[in-house]
Amino acid sequence: MKYLVMVHGSQADYEAMAGKPSAGSPAWTEQDMQAMFAFMEGVNNDLVASGEMVDGNGLATPASTRAVLPGADGRPVVTEGPYGDAQKQIAGYWVLDCASPERVTEIAARIGLCPQPEGAPVYPVVIRPIMDDGSELAEATA
């Protein structure tokens, strides 16, 4: 079964990674960034080697977010930028093809061990099954 595995972050977290601290998001050093990238590269390499990696990427800062809603006149209403500096948003994702919920949970637990500076916010690693044929939706609504 395929799963979407997501990590979260806020605009303040991205700024802290660029060396600009704020309340609750201490500045990351170059060594902190290198440790995080090396850790994630190891996770990704292992997922490729196991055949479980379908796709995965880090996302640009929340400040580059664009939301599109339908307007009252039928024309789109576009909002740019984050929806609030403190609000967490998806920072990166993996699409994984795993044999079981237990296996994807094991991978998410490993991702949760990614090194970061002391005092940096800790967010859960979120797992969502991907509906391949709609049967999961039928089961959920039954």
CA pair distance 110, 105, nearest whole angstrom: 9
CA pair distance 81, 78, nearest whole angstrom: 10
Q: What is the pLDDT of residues 26-85, one digit of tens each?
A: 999 999 999 999 999 999 999 999 999 999 999 999 988 888 999 999 999 998 876 655
**Phi, psi (degrees; rounded to nearest 5) at 90:** -65, 125
Residue for token pair 């997922």: 47
Q: How far is CA 51 from the centre of its chain?
A: 20
Q: Where are the domains of the chain?
A: 2-134
- CB burial class (10 A; 0-12, 13-18, 19+) of residue 25? buried
pLDDT at 86: 55
Structure tokens at 31: 């060594």
CATH architecture of 2-134: 2-Layer Sandwich (3.30)
For range 110-119, the mean pLDDT: 96
Q: Using CA atoms of 70, 72, 75, 77 in order, give the dihedral in degrees to the nearest 10.
A: -60
